[in-house]
Amino acid sequence: MVNKFTIIVPVYNEEDNLERVEKELSAYIKIASTPTKILFVNDGSTDNSQALIETICSSNPNFDFILFSENRGLSAAIKAGFDHVDTELVGYIDSDLQTAPEDFNLLLKHIGEFDLVTGVRSNRKDSFVKNMSSKIANGIRRAFTHDGMDDTGCPLKVIKTDFAKRIPMFKGLHRFLPAMILLQNGKVTQIPVQHFPRIAGTAKFGLWNRLIGPLIDCFAYLWMKKKYINYQVAKKSA
């Protein structure tokens, strides 16, 4: 059976979560609505994550990994995943599993008519400060991008791979994926998904990189939008 969907799992110091990641993603592969494989992208973890990832991949033929030589951030991990996948669809989920792998099936139902489908975390199980800072950041981002998305930080997305590979990634751009698909004249939509509290490990984002950082990134996006090259080939020689 040929895999059609790759799930990218960015990992940075998540040794306490990886056993559960293996269990839940292995279970999802069995019920996935399209043949699926998993790609870990280890963003230079300094704990025991890599040893656990290699053990998982050695015993699961549908699991592979990439290891960075040093920590480069979430956007770099997602970009590396986009660069390396060879399936027609690509998605990603955070290794903290605050979203449910089975909800990928909800997103996959809509990917035929859209080029990116993102989750919207309903009834978020985060702290008041985290929820409010994310809400403010999303409002600021929508004002700049007009992408119509309520929760671009949701770590559950499905994208057509040819669109994903054309995204010119920069640090922080994981929050702008719908807007970058719109720059390609693609179509995007959002679907409510489940959300759960983090039960192991520590959050990698604080107030600065959840609120102030994205505000600065909005200006980078506006510059990119102004300079973005988009074209369609009407005809070429045989």
Show the beta-strand stretches assigned E in the chain: 5-11, 36-42, 63-67, 89-93, 116-121, 156-160, 188-193
Q: What pTM was computed for the model?
A: 0.83
Count of other CB atoms within 10 angstroms of residue 90? 25
Report which of 3, 116, 141, 127 is spatially closest to residue 61, judged by C-alpha positions: 3
Count of other CB atoms within 10 angstroms of residue 237? 3
Looking at CATH, the fold of the domain delimited by 5-227 is given as Spore Coat Polysaccharide Biosynthesis Protein SpsA; Chain A (3.90.550)
Residue 203: what pLDDT? 60
Residue 5: what pLDDT? 98
Q: What pLDDT, in 10s, does the model give residues 32-55?
A: 999 999 999 999 999 999 999 999
Separation between Cα atoms, residue 166 and residue 224, nearest integer Å: 13
7 by DSSP, 3-state: which? strand
Q: What pLDDT, in 10s, does the model give residues 190-229?
A: 999 988 776 665 665 555 556 666 777 788 778 878 887 7
Residue 72 has pLDDT above 90, yes or no: yes
